[in-house]
Structure 1
């Protein structure tokens, strides 16, 4: 295999087309320079440079080899810098799992922070529910998850990124919108309700039944995605309990109403990562997010 010294020698001769000038450029004498070229040609298996007493010229193969040789030298010079940048978390790849709901709440802010603080870090985004994110973190398939509680703190470290209120979304012009007060559980007794799936959207299902006296006989649809839920409300199919950030979906034909006897931070979204995670880019991002918790 050829060496970088041989490549440097070849590039110098190819650019100078003069062994004496190339030797001076490399701070060496001509005999070792000639030996470097000979060893390179032997390794490559073709003549790269034609030389006689009057001139030095590249062969056709030499001209083709020169382009790749220059790229090799650039890569060799960049490699240590890239390694240092990756070690400092300034470059590399960060694989992020996110729920659909986090896509319209904190994901945009997170990506903006990455672009500003770590512009040379490539981001690999994967839409996954919390359960899938947990599996991917355990298997080393992602570096960071944007997930809902509960969190296994023996396996994962976490940071609260968003806390927000649970709201009621109703069709535009619905009688509940005319109450001029927060909606109470008693107001929902005879109202068709679009509810979360207890298996595919367990976090929001548990949250809803824990905070509002749900009349299960009123449930007309069971879905797992918030966008689907709000779209059904817009179609007049019922009302639904959604996080306040769902307003950012911009679905027309709906009104968001506050709920009575509710705190403003019942819905949580956390950044989670496996304990012992060593990706420097992850730790740079976490440092950039220090103290950043959003409330909606």
Structure 2
């Protein structure tokens, strides 16, 4: 079935005017070519759409049904150029965002709300991925923007810090450290069993903990990749753990959060990450919308 935009316009005009002459005048054309347009449209559709009589023109049952979709098609066609311009300008379309599970505790919601407030016609598609998988997905063009942990290859990717926060200590309820009455220090942790992070699946946090606290192999109870798993293992009294402060927003029975003393103030970083070769026009508008968030970090 093939019919033209002009044929649809002609049919809708005749259907609304109920008169070929008035419809032709409305379309700034003469009546004979309008009649030929309608004939070609009826042939393409395979059904009679209009009936003429002495009182003018009336729609057949098929014409009544076709009119609904004809108007819809014309509306969509009318919107198409504007939509294309808005997509090209990065104001519409979609942006695919990868994020680490830990970012959902805090900054992810602010990022999404900021984008939606400033770019309401942009569709947001989310993928929960560890940093390594985000890097692969960005390189393959499967996502446009990541919320990931450094370091990154500066030749392939651009990045911008979007959030910094302290570490806190997560200990089981009733643990001796929970009774210190002061922030915990490295000396307080020397004999403790530590739940730490996988060097492969959670490399950033693994290396961060190693830098902050020399951890002997015999002091490692478990090494896992997800922060929520770390916290649940602490609740099960399998050891203690370092977690980002935003994780304290989780409600988990059986754990306590302790401040740390003698450690860097805000060692946990989260960055916006994108591939330099990205061709999605929405990426630049999203990055501009997020500038106030990144500007806070200097």
Q: TM-score, normalised to structure 2's length?
A: 0.93
Counterpart CA distance in 2 for 1:126 and 1:136 is: 10
Correspondence for 2:44: 43
Q: CA deviation at 1:130?
A: 0.9
Contact 1:160 1:269 in 2 (8 A): yes
Unmatched tracts of structure 1, length 5 or more: none
- 1:162-201 to 2 correspondences below 5 Å: 162-201=163-202
Contact 1:189 1:215 in 2 (8 A): no
Aligned residue pairs: how many?
Answer: 295
Q: CA deviation at 1:50?
A: 1.5
Q: CA deviation at 1:177?
A: 2.5
Correspondence for 1:103: 104
Q: CA deviation at 1:98?
A: 0.8
Aligned residue for 1:57, secondary structure, equals strand
Correspondence for 2:69: 68
- 1:1-296 to 2 correspondences below 5 Å: 1-293=2-294
Q: CA deviation at 1:3?
A: 1.6
Higher mean C-alpha displacement, 243-252 vs 265-274: 243-252
Higher mean C-alpha displacement, 52-61 vs 186-195: 52-61
Q: CA deviation at 1:46?
A: 2.7
Deviations 1:201-240 (A, max 9, x none): 1111111011112232122222211111112212322210
Counterpart CA distance in 2 for 1:172 and 1:237 is: 12
Deviations 1:53-92 (A, max 9, x none): 4431222222222111111100011101111211222210
Counterpart CA distance in 1 for 2:157 and 2:106 is: 22
Counterpart CA distance in 2 for 1:86 and 1:59 is: 40
Q: CA deviation at 1:192?
A: 2.0
RMSD: 1.7
Q: TM-score, normalised to structure 1's length?
A: 0.93
Find runs of 4+ consecutive structure 1 residues off by over 3 angstroms: 52-55
Counterpart CA distance in 2 for 1:274 and 1:199 is: 22
Higher mean C-alpha displacement, 45-54 vs 135-144: 45-54
